[in-house]
Amino acid sequence: MKQGLFELVKSMTQSEKRYFRIEAAKQAGDQPQLYMMLFEAIEACDDYSEKQFKELHRNAPFIGQFALKKHHLQLQIMKSLRAFNNARSAEMRVTELMQNILILYDKGLYAHCRTAIRKAVKLSTRYEFHALLIWLHEFQRRILKKEKQTNMREGLEVLLQEKDDHLKNLDEKLSQLDQYDRLFIASRTTGKIPEESLNASANFRTVLGELYTLQSLALQAHLRKDYLLARDEQEKIVLLWEKHADMAKEYRQSHRTSLANYLVLCYSTGQMARFPEYLERIRKIPSKSFDEEAEAFQNLSYLELLYFTNTGQIEGGLSLTNQISKGLKRYARKINVARHLVIRFNVASLCFIAADFKQSLTWCNSILQVSKTEHRRDIQGLVRIIQLLIHYELDNHELLEYQLRTTREYFGKQKEMQPEERLCLAQFRKLLKTVDATQRTEVCTEWLRKLEELIDSGSTWQAAELCSLWLKANIQGRMIVEIAKEELGEKDEQKK
């Protein structure tokens, strides 16, 4: 299974593929080139197994010397990608200038070399490519010594001072990045916050140094569950990008992530009114690679579902389901399993609130069909509870006993069972034994009372609100969406 070339082809955006085909056609004239035939064959694949691919195309002209054909295609793709993306990134423009500098220096064309260096230094200074500035500094010194100018001593002193500045800037940037990365990795591996205090300078030499410091402060506050402080620190990051718009364009992925993190913290602190403006800002950030497209898709899908569900705009959320379904398929290889499960569960929940139980069941089933994984065991458990409620609503009585039994078996295999899960299974069994509407109301009322006691005691069970809405709808004989909107309105009034 050799996936490298397949993944490279699938990572290309539509614009990159179009450019690659146009450039290849210019070289080929009227005769199609073998590497392009191989490209089109790989592009047509959804999955890739080299053995199966070679068997499927055993009579194709590119199968002979297949390893060489693949290598040639990869070289041509990389050459095309460099040309296509050269003007789209300041960092790539600098690296191209650096290649020119090497060639010009080897040819002894020092005046031309200095011109290229000046352009590269200007870009590198503007976008804080400090490591590249140190490389460029070395060539400035080489040229100074080669040309043996009369003012060589003064020129060297200027360069030495600039070198010291570059090193200080690089040290600030890397030390603050080190601090953030240690905190980030500790939070993902041990779940503990490092005890050492954060080094947060009041005066920064670089924008990136300040950015990494603010990211550390925001993450630390978030891990300590001080969401208000985390939101305030994240807001400073957003304002920093606004202040340095050129940097935001160059570091667009970081900018997009900062806006997404800010909205998550706005949600955690009940500031839903800020969503429309910042969702639009995220949409306006261009994606310049397949990877960036996937990142933008999953961020926007998650945040839009969060916004529509928590503002009672159920119809707006439902309008996204087809787009989300297509995106999950298109970017499947780029979205991690945990985020896959979260997005699918949020869509299932939205359909459940809208009483579109068949669609909700389809999304729930799609979660359980994900290959066995340890990711988001909480969601895998929640879905099984929601499935019981859906089958009940759909009158799938012949399935309910079996579904209840398999759900109990699933939870029995887990290390521990949440009290909310235990309550739901016990009350659902009671519900199946009821014979009339009065008994069903009594069971649901008891169920709701016990669930609210758990919620009041600090329950963090994610399905508590969804289950509560369903119980109230059954007790009151109303639609779930009506009760959801009513409760959201009450929360808004309390905030005022």
Four-residue CA torsion sign, 130, 132, 135, 141:
negative
What pLDDT is stored for residue 57 in this prediction? 87
Q: 25 Cβ partners below 8 Å, 6+ apart?
A: none
- Write b or e for each residue in 14-38: b if 16 or more Cβ atoms lie within 10 A of its Cβ, otherwise e: eebbebbeeebeeeeeeeebbbbbb
pLDDT higher for 301 or 50? 301
CA-to-CA distance for 288 and 90, rounded, in angstroms? 13
Is the separation of the CB atoms in 331 and 293 below 8 Å? Answer: yes
Q: What is the mean pLDDT of residues 174-188?
A: 90
Tokens matching residue 449: 């009372």
Q: How confident is the model at residue 412 (pLDDT cuts 50, 70, 90)?
A: confident
Q: What is the pLDDT of residues 244-262, one digit of tens each?
A: 999 999 999 999 999 999 9
> 197-202 — which CB contacts under 8 Å span 24+ positions?
199/175, 201/172
Is the separation of the CB atoms in 136 and 117 below 8 Å? Answer: yes
Q: What is the mean pLDDT of residues 429-449?
A: 92
Four-residue CA torsion sign, 306, 292, 190, 379:
positive
Least confident of 67-76, 147-156, 362-371: 147-156
Task: Answer whether residue 337 shows pLDDT above 80.
Answer: yes
* Size of the chain, expressed as the number of residues it contains: 496
Least confident of 30-34, 169-173, 212-216: 30-34
Tokens matching residue 297: 């898709």
Q: What is the pLDDT of residues 20-43, one digit of tens each?
A: 888 888 776 545 688 888 998 888
Provide the CA 355 distance to its chain's centre, in angstroms. 30
Four-residue CA torsion sign, 339, 342, 344, 347:
negative
**DSSP helix, strand, coil percent of the chain (3-state; round to 5):** 80, 0, 20
pLDDT higher for 195 or 44? 44
Four-residue CA torsion sign, 170, 175, 178, 183:
negative
Task: Answer whether residue 1 shows pLDDT above 90.
Answer: no
Q: 292 Cβ partners below 8 Å, 6+ apart?
A: 252, 253
| Mean pLDDT of the residues in the chain | 88
Nearest alpha-carbon partner for 419 in 450, 392, 390, 441: 450
Q: What is the mean pLDDT of residues 104-117?
A: 92
From its phi and psi, is residue 29 left (phi > 0), alpha (psi between -120 and 50) or beta?
Answer: left
Percent of the chain with pLDDT over 70: 93
What pLDDT is stored for residue 469 in this prediction? 93
pLDDT higher for 151 or 66? 66
Q: What is the mean pLDDT of residues 132-160?
A: 86
Is the separation of the CB atoms in 20 and 86 below 8 Å? Answer: no
Which residue has 């500098």 as its token pair? 101
How many CB atoms are closer than 10 A to CB 323?
13
